[in-house]
Amino acid sequence: MNEVEPSIVSTPAGARALPGGLFTRATAELLASLVARELKSRYKGSVFGFLWALLVPLFMAFIYVMFLRLLVGRGVSVEGIIVGVFAWQYTVQCVQGGMTSITSNSNLVRKVFFPRILLPVAVTGANLVNFLLSLIVQFAVLAVLGASGGLGIGGALWALPAVVLWLTVFNLGLALLLAGANVHFRDTQHLVGVLLSAWFFVSPVMYDLSLVEPFAEGRPWLMPLVWLNPMTGLLTAARACVLPDVELPWTLWSTAGLLIPALLLGAGVAVFRRAQRHFADLL
Amino acid sequence: MAGDSGQAAIIAEGLGKRYRVRGMAAPTLFGSLARLGRTVPVPEFWALRDASFEIPRGRTVGVIGPNGSGKSSLLGLVAGTITPTCGRVTARGRICSLLELGAGFHPDLTGRENVFLNAAILGIPREDVRRRFDRIVEFAGLREFIDMPVKHYSSGMYVRLGFAVAAESDPDILLIDEVLAVGDVAFQLRCLDRIRDLQRRGRTLLFVSHALQTVEEFCHEVFLVHKGSIVARGEPAPTILRYIREFMGEGGPVFTQEFGSREAEIAGVTLRGADGREAGVLETGQAMHVDVSWRAKRRIDRPVFGFAIKTGNGFQVFGSNTQLAGHPVDAIEGEGTIRLSLDPLALMAGNYMLSLSIHSWDHAQQYHRREDWYPFAVRNNTGAPGAFFLQTRWSNPPAAAT
């Protein structure tokens, strides 16, 4: 026994592992294993396997483009929709996977001590890997569209990592909040399903802000509200990174909206830590 | 305190766990909103209360008690999966819980992938698993199935792989909750071997079991838990005896029945081992004495005392009486004791139930019959396997004349 022995100290404030707490090598290895499990199990047994991670957002984008062309006509760029749908899918998967990350592992949570926070973090991590791979497809599609007379790729590409990071911060915050909430209130799942579809329509996923701006005339409260939805800033930023002629306006309200992910992550961690004390009792 | 605790593997101070009984339904958001502003008294109960103990490193402690007494809560608290309501528990060293084998196995992943995943969850460095991988597979006996998704495994294979990972992880503290009653007999024996091995290497074991003979055989100390309190702790034999006397059999969780006219009654029974001392766990191949005290309200001529032994799951092993055994009793009146001896005891390790009866010589009159009345456990120290212990003798045959 040359190293300091690990201990688990359990008090009404929760169980803690000492020394090192959360940031140890063992935790990193466990996180890597959980991410790998998440990715492996998702596509095992399916014919296309990992390709689904790329095909799903592509199909979604295709469907949206077709319908929008039918309903709205011209006005929204195909490229804009593709970028929007890919990023939106990332958030949706984190919300859905994160929400059930504790309840679907109830066996584990009730029987073995390990940092529970790793479960929603692993879901987010696995979806991040998926998202990064889907970005390759996204660029390929944009390039093909560009070669056939589309917008092509351009914009503040250098800022893309920052946008991905910020989107991940937002998604992780949501996953943490919902993971804890779903253990304590099982109707979270149903509520979130409804809210997600409402959120889809109020976020500029299959439209961009040029479509909203006409409505804002004479309604000074509308644009601040739109910008306070963090998804507005994130999607616009994602488009500004890869598409020419899209800009993220830095106004008071867009900045406020883009601060929300950080606040949400902070709240998510705090809420999760409180909620996890009762996981074993409620599962 | 500080000096002592350096030696202790597990320290609990005023540990308690209270549950609020929310009824059958899962908690819902709307339910909480509906309750908001109203104070609905929520019934609560203490699964464990005021538990304070220290378990020194290298010791094996058994936890026994009736169902629902708080045994599993105690283990969950030590494992860190259940958050205490009050108090504090510290477990020093790497803990591995065999609370549920194969918890965390993913059905779609192969055995190999699951071994690494499960090990990571148990906090074993990846490098160590890689080194021990062959031994894990060997122990589980799953070499040809290791690259198959575990959803195709039988439940026995599942459990074997789970145990193999846990046992090969060489934890400092091992928590075992009634999981050794799975798998085939050969695997169970290997598990017990493994546990002995861990004991030899100075590991700390805390284990919950209803197999009293295993508890007596393995543990240095036994905690008796009842209604959330540790009501007794000490040497295995007397603590197990107290458990059997107070919480099993009559008034305990076992369903016992009584019949008869009660003109003559079985007033009490004492089980004694070969040394004549009262015991709750008897030994295979040694003598077992059953002292039956009786009470007769009037003179009864030629009564018959009978007994039957069943296994814990109701299979009748043997039954006889004074009539069949050729030991007729002339008459009884007042009070007295009769001794039944089983020498050598042919039962193998396990939990058993003793039934006793008094009836008339012609079986027409049942005076008193206590069915499944008195529980006891048997431990096998002979090392001989099988269904029964047969008394044997080996010798050189007399030299045959040629």
Same domain, B98 and B195: yes
Instruction: State whether A107 and B120 contact (CB < 8 Å).
Output: no
Instruction: State whether B28 and A186 contact (CB < 8 Å).
Output: yes
Averaged pLDDT score across all residues of chain B: 85
Query: Is residue B1 situated within a structural domain?
Result: no
For tokens 């014919």, the residue is A47
Determine whether B133 is exposed, middle or buried from the number of CB atoms within 10 Å of its CB (0-12, 13-18, 19+).
middle
Q: Give per-residue pLDDT as tens, B293-307.
A: 999 999 999 999 999
What is the pLDDT at residue B296?
Answer: 93
Backbone φ and ψ of B108, nearest 5°: -85, -15
Domain finish residue from B246, B270, B293: B246
The answer, yes or no, to whether residue B93 has pLDDT greater than 60, is yes
Same domain, B238 and B270: no
Query: Is residue B385 situated within a structural domain?
Result: no
Same domain, B140 and B103: yes
Q: What is the pLDDT confidence band of residue B171, given thresholds at 50, 70 and 90?
A: confident
Backbone φ and ψ of B89, nearest 5°: -135, 135
On chain A, the residues whose CB falls within 8 A of the CB of B88 are: 9-11
Query: Is residue B392 situated within a structural domain?
Result: no
Same domain, B368 and B301: yes
Position B287: which residue type?
A
Return the H-helix or E-strand segment holding B16.
strand B8-20
As a whole number, mean pLDDT of residues B248-266 equals 72
Min CA distance, B122 vs chain A (Å)?
7
Instruction: State whether A110 and B28 contact (CB < 8 Å).
Output: no
The span from the CA of A199 to the CA of A231, in Å, is 9
Name A17's bridge partners.
A8
The span from the CA of B97 to the CA of A58, in Å, is 45
Same domain, B231 and B346: no
In chain A, the largest separation of any two C-alpha atoms, in whole Å, equals 73
Domain finish residue from B221, B246, B271: B246
Nearest to A124 by CA among A82, A171, A160: A171
Instruction: Output Rg (C-alpha) for chain B, integer angstroms.
Output: 26
Query: Is residue B135 situated within a structural domain?
Result: yes
Contact A187, A216 (CB under 8 A): no
Instruction: State whether B26 and A45 contact (CB < 8 Å).
Output: no
Same domain, B363 and B308: yes
The span from the CA of A82 to the CA of A78, in Å, is 6
End-to-end CA distance of chain B: 79
Q: Give per-residue pLDDT as tens, A218-263.
A: 888 899 999 999 999 999 999 999 998 888 888 899 999 999 999 9
Instruction: State whether A184 and B27 contact (CB < 8 Å).
Output: yes
On whether any CB of chain B is under 8 Å from the CB of A190, the answer is no
CB contacts under 8 A, B 175-214 vs A, are none
Same domain, B241 and B191: yes
On whether any CB of chain B is under 8 Å from the CB of A9, the answer is yes
| Domain tally, chain B | 2
CB contacts under 8 A, A 116-175 vs B, are none
Query: Is residue B133 situated within a structural domain?
Result: yes
Q: What is the pLDDT confidence band of residue B156, given thresholds at 50, 70 and 90?
A: confident
Q: Give per-residue pLDDT as tens, A51-76.
A: 887 788 788 878 877 887 777 665 67
Instruction: State whether B88 and A11 contact (CB < 8 Å).
Output: yes
Query: In this structure, what CATH number is given to the domain that contains residue B212?
Result: 3.40.50.300
The span from the CA of A33 to the CA of A241, in Å, is 32
**Structural domain span for residue B313:** 257-379
CB contacts under 8 A, B 60-89 vs A, are 76-89
Same domain, B185 and B149: yes
The angle that helices B126-140 and B111-121 make with each other, rounded to 10 degrees, is 130
On chain B, the residues whose CB falls within 8 A of the CB of A281 are: 19, 82-83
Q: How many other C-beta atoms can be found within 10 angstroms of the C-beta atom of residue A26?
A: 19
Instruction: State whether B109 and A186 contact (CB < 8 Å).
Output: no
Domain finish residue from B191, B225, B246: B246
Contact B12, B86 (CB under 8 A): no
* Exposure string for B252-290, b = 16+ CB within 10 A, e = fewer: eebebeeebeebbbbeebbbbbbeeeebbbbbbbbbbbb
Same domain, B128 and B202: yes
Mutation site, A33, A41, A113, interface B, largest B CB count within 10 A? A113
Q: What is the pLDDT confidence band of residue B358, given thresholds at 50, 70 and 90?
A: very high
DSSP per residue, B284-307? TTS-EEEEEEEEEEEEEES-EEEE
Composition of chain B by helix, strand, coil, percent to 5: 25, 35, 40
The span from the CA of B375 to the CA of B34, in Å, is 49
Same domain, B125 and B67: yes
Composition of chain A by helix, strand, coil, percent to 5: 70, 5, 25
Same domain, B144 and B265: no
On whether any CB of chain B is under 8 Å from the CB of A283, the answer is no
Q: Does this model's pTM top 0.90? A: no
Query: Is residue B401 situated within a structural domain?
Result: no
The answer, yes or no, to whether residue A145 has pLDDT greater than 60, is yes
Query: Is residue B397 situated within a structural domain?
Result: no
Q: Give per-residue pLDDT as tens, B33-44.
A: 666 666 666 778
Backbone φ and ψ of A59, nearest 5°: -60, -45
For tokens 């046992």, the residue is B167
Task: Say which of A40, A110, A185 has its CB closest to residue B109.
Answer: A40
ipTM of the complex: 0.81
Name B95's bridge partners.
B173
On chain A, the residues whose CB falls within 8 A of the CB of B81 are: 15, 109-113, 280
The span from the CA of B272 to the CA of B286, in Å, is 11
Name B206's bridge partners.
B61, B175
The CA angle B144-B145-B148, to the nearest 5 degrees, is: 135
Contact B225, B361 (CB under 8 A): no
Query: Is residue B55 situated within a structural domain?
Result: yes
Q: How many other C-beta atoms can be found within 10 angstroms of the C-beta atom of residue A140?
A: 12
Mutation site, A29, A111, A177, interface B, largest B CB count within 10 A? A111
Task: Say which of B29, B81, B93 has its CB closest to residue A280.
Answer: B81
Contact A243, A79 (CB under 8 A): yes
Query: In this structure, what CATH number is given to the domain that contains residue B290?
Result: 2.70.50.60
The span from the CA of A216 to the CA of A226, in Å, is 10
Same domain, B115 and B94: yes
